[in-house]
Chains A and B, each alone.
Chain A
Amino acid sequence: MADEERTHRGIGVSPGCAYGPVVLVSPPVRAPEGEAAAADPQQALTQVKAAFESVARDLEERAGRVEDTAAEILTATALMARDKGLLKAAGTHLDEGEGPATAIESAVSEFVVQFEALGGYFAERVADLRDVGARAVAAVLGVPAPGVPDLAEPSVVVAQDLAPAETAVLDRTLVLAIVTSGGGRTSHTAILAAQRGIPAVVQCDRALELPVGALVAVDGDLGTVTLEPGEAFVADLAVRNERRTSALDGSFGPGRTSDGHAVALLANIGDVADAEAAAAQDLEGVGLFRTEFLFLSATSAPTLDEQAEVYAQVFAPFGRRRVVVRTLDAGADKPLAFADLGPEENPALGRRGLRLSAERPDLLDVQLQALAIATRETGADVRVMAPMVATAEEADWFARRVREHGLPTAGVMVEVPAAALRSRHVLADMDFASIGTNDLSQYTMAADRMQGALSELLDPWQPAVLDLVAATCAGGAATGTPVGVCGEAAGDPLLALVLVGLGVSSLSMAPSRIPMVRLALSRHSLPECQRIATVALGARTAAAARTRCLEQAVVEITDLL
């Protein structure tokens, strides 16, 4: 086979290299739209029963291979698959003229509704029940069971895309790397993989054609997947890994350029577990704490006490290090069960972020109050910023509310081009600003960030996006407001040099990306970063910007990229 055929190219979204066998994640299966009624409901019921039975046996077989708690959960789930009530409900739907797969989904939904109404422990079982349903639907349709298969050995997980829940439960010791044909630079898979230090490649061409069990080498930096690489290739990969590791070993402490200009290196986190993991690492604090996790899964608004307790748990591990909190960024595509403003034609342009807070100031006030309590309790250096700010009025409204709650440091995220262009005015009364390059790219390029096919437009090297970063920094310089970056761009070592050259004073990223960024900064002076930034702004295309900056950066660093 020619080398070119063996190399599958994608976008590297989580650094590191891995070598191992392919396991394939089958996509979720739904009952076919308008599935025909069963000709003989009685016979169909036998098929449905057999499907549930095979799911139950499969679960029991898996239970036999694991221990204790995991086995108990699988056994209990098997009991659900064999449940008479569930089968009876499916039978009723078959009699009503539904096809077998549809009847399974309907029966499962009935119990899901009841479980969700019970809340608490029961609501948590909904995922298990849905999993049973999805597996039974697959069985009755005769297609592979959905989801991540049981991993018997360390493997490379290949999928069309992974749901956030699937990525979250992946066993780090068994998942060597993640490769997806879909997804994008800022998809959940990419963010979570980087967060957990799992090398990942998204938008990988012909990924689903990789044969199950075949050995592949994954390069999460270059974004390549090589099928059955030769010994020499694997050896080279190991050498490169080795060289990176030894280079990074010499990189520690606060971020600074070779001439001593400080650039704070911070972590993006999403919950208490992230906070504890990040705090244990060599970094200067948190540049983006997304608070959505508390809200998105809740059926009612989390109370003041609940919020204060969780925030304190997040702040405490960081001691005196800074923690930048982003207030609730929900609405539209991330609707809240308890504050749903209804469907919108263009969710990304709808009532999300601060716009939701303007509509429901009660939610924001409770959150700010809880943040103030947790700040007092822990003595942490907490700074609060608002998402989706477009105008100076919005920024002022937010800052006033933050300060009224006794929180001293208020800032805004710059994600909307309007805020970047008018930063001199928007930032006038702010203590800091943070550029969210993912959304800024989406809004600058008018390209949906969830659309994997638009990845090229969403490339943070796009000169138009860099122009807006420069504009924001100019506004920040005029008003004396420090400007940071907390999007994916901050974790690209080469782009980080450009950002610092443009005037960015802090970079927040997945913790696994910090060592390489720190190393890159330590080998360049501020004037060198400024020169590289000028080169980037002068390029006509994103690709040219990157290529020309690669030529400008020191070889010691570019060799490792």
Chain B
Amino acid sequence: MPSRTATIASSVGLHARPAALFVKQANESGLDVQVARPGEEAVDATSILGVMTLGAKHGEQVEITAEGKGAEQVLDALVTLLETDLDAQG
């Protein structure tokens, strides 16, 4: 299954606005996307509550995996999103 590792760039970590944008984009892909801290149990990337319970902070790494058609492109886009400081924008 295709996977990527991304470093959280948002200063507040993966919650609030960054988490909401990440979940929205995962939802829009229509694929089964999972996210996890390295070596830990994965959560559904389309669940805001699930993503928030990861408690991933600024500078920490997460692994994302996706299953299905166009998974590679979806993952690339999600990595770009996570590695952007989303909190700095607006």
Q: Which of A75, A85, A122 contacts B43 (CB 8 A)?
A: A85
Q: Which of A84, A121, A129 contacts B15 (CB 8 A)?
A: A121
B65 within 8 A of A: no
Given contacts A85-B43, A122-B15, contact A76 B48 (CB under 8 A): yes
Contacts of A125 in B (CB 8 A): 52
The residue on B at minimum CB distance from A129 is: B49
In chain B, residues 6-59, which have Cβ atoms closer than 8 Å to a Cβ of chain A? 12, 15-17, 20, 23-24, 43-44, 46-50, 52-53, 55
Give the docked Cα–Cα distance between A128 and B12 (Å). Answer: 19
Additional pairs, 6, CB under 8 Å, beyond known A72-B17, A76-B17:
A75-B20, A80-B48, A84-B44, A115-B53, A121-B15, A122-B55
Q: Is there contact, CB below 8 Å, between A85 and B17? A: no
Main secondary structure of the interface of A (DSSP, over half): helix
Min CB distance B41 to A, Å, is 13
Contacts of B52 in A (CB 8 A): 115, 122, 125
Contacts of A121 in B (CB 8 A): 12, 15-16
Min CB distance B25 to A, Å, is 13
Contacts of A79 in B (CB 8 A): 20, 23-24, 48
- Between-chain CB contacts (< 8 Å), 8 pairs: A76-B17, A79-B20, A79-B23, A79-B48, A85-B43, A111-B49, A121-B16, A125-B52
- The residue in A72, A85, A125 that gathers the most chain B C-beta atoms within 10 A of its C-beta is A85
The residue on A at minimum CB distance from B52 is: A122
Main secondary structure of the interface of B (DSSP, over half): helix
Given contacts A86-B49, A115-B53, A122-B52, contact A76 B16 (CB under 8 A): yes
- The residue in B17, B43, B53 that gathers the most chain A C-beta atoms within 10 A of its C-beta is B53
Contacts of A111 in B (CB 8 A): 49, 53
Q: Is there contact, CB below 8 Å, between B49 and A83? A: yes
Give the docked Cα–Cα distance between A118 and B44 (Å). Answer: 18
The residue on B at minimum CB distance from A75 is: B20
Contacts of B48 in A (CB 8 A): 76, 79-80, 83
A114 within 8 A of B: yes
- The residue in B24, B44, B48, B49 that gathers the most chain A C-beta atoms within 10 A of its C-beta is B49
Give the docked Cα–Cα distance between A55 and B87 (Å). Answer: 27
The residue on B at minimum CB distance from A79 is: B48
Q: Which of B12, B24, B46, B55 contacts A118 (CB 8 A)?
A: B55
Q: Is there contact, CB below 8 Å, between B50 and A85? A: yes
Q: Is there contact, CB below 8 Å, between B20 and A85? A: no
Give 1 or 0 for each of A96-136: 1 = CB within 8 Å of chain B CB: 00000000000000010011001001100100010000000
Q: Which of A72, A75, A85 contacts B49 (CB 8 A)?
A: A85
Contacts of B46 in A (CB 8 A): 84
